[in-house]
Structure 1
Amino acid sequence: MVEQCKTGNASSQYELYGLYVDAMFNVGLRFLGNKEDAEDIVQDSFVDAFKKLNSFKYESSFGAWLKRIVINKSINHLKAKRIPVVPIEPHEFHLADETTVEGEMVDIKKVQLGIAQLPDGYKQIINLYLIEGYDHVEIGEILDISTSTSKSQYHRAKKKLLEIISEL
């Protein structure tokens, strides 16, 4: 189907759009927290993807390639709004002090509510690592931060998320 889209076949493009639009909207919504912004980002992402389809090299699935476009556009949108990644303080690298909830099942609704309450920088790290499955090297590249900053922010975000969940 991607090959047909590369030739400009509109029905194939519409079919490909239909296969991925809901999933990409959910990705955009997790990052942006705003339905209208997510819709705009997804539409822009599909336009860009179809324009740049000849650069798609089948090194990953089309969905993974498109998701990366949506995530990058979402992050750029947040940067344009000047929503910074949470700054890192040198004394906050104590990763061994991590709070864990052992043997306790966490309700997915509580996790979703907790993520929604996180500061935007934490929310980005949690979404990229836990939800989207990127590793810290990839997160560093996406957010233009170091791998150690990604790891530290993830641990701080996880700790904050556990605090929020315990209060719900």
Structure 2
Amino acid sequence: METTPYPDRHADLVKRCQAGERRAQYELYQQYVKAMYNVCLRILNHEAEAEDVLQEAFLDAFSHITTFRGQSTFGAWLKQIVVNRAINHLRGRRLVLTDLEGQHYGDDDGPDLADEEPYDEAGVQLEVDRVRRAMHQLPEGYRVVLSLYLFEGYDHEEIGNVLNISETTSRTQYLRGKKRLLELLK
């Protein structure tokens, strides 16, 4: 029995999709639609555009599902398609990132915002909503780099490759974005 380096709990659905089974596509879509929509929304910051890009990404994924070889999980493969689609959409909106190669900026972590109170789920949700609103207020370049780094787990080299900017520019956008986000949260 052949095993893949990254076992995927959706392997059966993927195989059924590769065989052209529409019901399997629907089931796989249902499994991933919410998470992938959130990825799109964090990058694009616009609900209707996120919905459109998400649908295009799923169409891409299902039309190219025969190329999926199981070298990563299906979710990771799909997420890469979604992120690439969202970034390409941003490029269409003319995402502006200034290349600051060679310039050095310090990492000011700002104040420690850790709460020492006991866990309060309602309070945590209020904080999450507050951070989400602040993220929406950031300039697009800062928001995209912060989202890719903090929420999607990309490193600065990967962000640079995806956005076609230098690693230094990614780091600078991240630091400036983080500083601006902390200012908005004060």
Q: Please report the TM-score for the alignment, with normalisation by the length of structure 2.
A: 0.82
What residue number does 2:119 align with? Answer: none
Alignment partners' CA distance in 1, 2:182 and 2:151:
16
Alignment partners' CA distance in 2, 1:5 and 1:116:
36
Unpaired segments of 5 or more residues in structure 2? Answer: 1-12, 116-123
Matched, 1:126 2:136: no
The 1:18/1:103 distance shift into structure 2, 3 A limit, reads closer
Choose the corresponding residue for 2:112, options 81, 94, 102.
102
Contact kept, 8 Å, 2:101 with 2:168, in 1: the verdict is no
What residue number does 2:132 align with? Answer: 112
Choose the corresponding residue for 2:48, options 19, 36, 57.
36
Contact kept, 8 Å, 2:146 with 2:174, in 1: the verdict is yes
Alignment partners' CA distance in 1, 2:77 and 2:148:
15
Matches within 5 A, 1:148-163: 148-163=168-183
Tell which structure's C-alpha radius of gyration is larger: 2
Alignment partners' CA distance in 1, 2:130 and 2:31:
29
Alignment partners' CA distance in 1, 2:32 and 2:83:
14
Matches within 5 A, 1:17-166: 17-85=29-97, 87-89=98-100, 93-96=104-107, 98-102=108-112, 104-105=114-115, 107-166=127-186
Structure number with higher helix proportion? 1
Amino acid corresponding to residue 137 of structure 1 in structure 2: E
Unpaired segments of 5 or more residues in structure 1? Answer: none
Q: Give, in angstroms, the shift of residue 21 of structure 1.
A: 0.9
Q: Percent identity?
A: 44
Q: How many residues align?
A: 164
Alignment partners' CA distance in 1, 2:93 and 2:145:
18
The 1:13/1:164 distance shift into structure 2, 3 A limit, reads same
